[in-house]
Structure 1
Amino acid sequence: MIAPAPGVRIWVAAGVTDMRRGFDGLASLVQQQLGHDPFGGALFIFRGRRGHLLKILAWDGQGLVLYAKRLERGKFVWPQAKDGVVSLTPAQLSMLTEGIDWRMPARTWQPEMMG
């Protein structure tokens, strides 16, 4: 993943999101349910019900950018809150996108040993 610029706010949408949503659906969710401006330069992170897919919505000054990642094994660790947003640091974002639980740094799956 490309690292966010210094000072960029990173918001995780608590709960689960319908991963069929695209640019417009996620931007609407940011405005109406999270109470933030999707065109303000912050990153907004969403996770699907099964926990293996996430999407990040960002405004880069020219248009919306949508980053998606699907883990083949393991899950993305998510806040326990049912709704609202949680702020992350860039280091926590890095661990989150790698499938590492930042509360207790360990992968949610272990790679197979190569013989």
Structure 2
Amino acid sequence: MIPVSTGARVWLATGRTDMRRGFPSLGLQVQEVLRKDPLSGHLFVFRGRRSDLVKVIWHDGQGQCLFTKRLERGRFIWPSPSAMAEDRSSFLRGVSMFMILALPALPAFRHKRPRLSLR
């Protein structure tokens, strides 16, 4: 469990992010693109290209934290950049954050046809 303060917000970076980045370069992206302070105590969430990986950066007042979650199946549901074009970020409430991290979109079930043998 992450002991996030009650005043902390969750900011979602729309679009795709290079997931090879660590806290320093993601923090720089927060400053330059989102126009926020990465050391403010807010959580900043980034999505990978295939939508199966997210990274969350957070400064807890003592140090920098980087959390990663990769899905084995499915992908994370993410707002489109065009929907957030004016801001390039989205503020999330707790329920929305839970929906993104805990309830990913699972791939559609594909029914396999039985093979017919011609014996």
Q: The TM-score by the shorter chain falls in which range?
A: 0.7 to 0.9
Report the alpha carbon displacement of residue 59 of structure 1 after superposing the two structures with TM.
Answer: 0.6
SS in 1 for 2:54: strand
CA distance in 1, matches of 2:3, 2:76: 18
Task: List structure 1 segments (4+ residues) > 6 angstroms apart after TM superposition.
Answer: none
CA distance in 1, matches of 2:61, 2:80: 32
Q: TM-score, normalised by structure 1?
A: 0.82
Aligned to 1:55: 55
The root-mean-square deviation of aligned C-alpha atoms, in Å, is: 1.6
Q: Give unpaired runs (5+ residues) of structure 2.
A: 108-119
Which of 77, 85, 93 aligns to 1:89? It is 93
SS in 2 for 1:97: helix
1:35 aligns to 2:44 (yes or no)? no
Report the alpha carbon displacement of residue 8 of structure 1 after superposing the two structures with TM.
Answer: 1.0
Aligned to 2:25: 25
Give the number of equivalent residue pairs: 103
**Greater radius of gyration (CA):** 2
User: What percentage of aligned pairs have identical amino acids?
Assistant: 45
Contact 2:4-2:60 within 8 A present in 1 as well = no
CA distance in 2, matches of 1:89, 1:3: 16
Residues 48/87 of structure 1: CA separation in 2 closer, same or farther (3 Å cut): same
Aligned to 2:103: 99
Aligned amino acid, residue 65 of structure 2: V
Deviations 1:23-74 (A, max 9, x none): 1010010011111000011100000010000000001001110000000011
CA distance in 2, matches of 1:91, 1:29: 25
Aligned amino acid, residue 39 of structure 2: F
Aligned amino acid, residue 47 of structure 1: R
Q: TM-score, normalised by structure 2?
A: 0.80
Deviations 1:57-95 (A, max 9, x none): 001001110000000011111111156100100111112
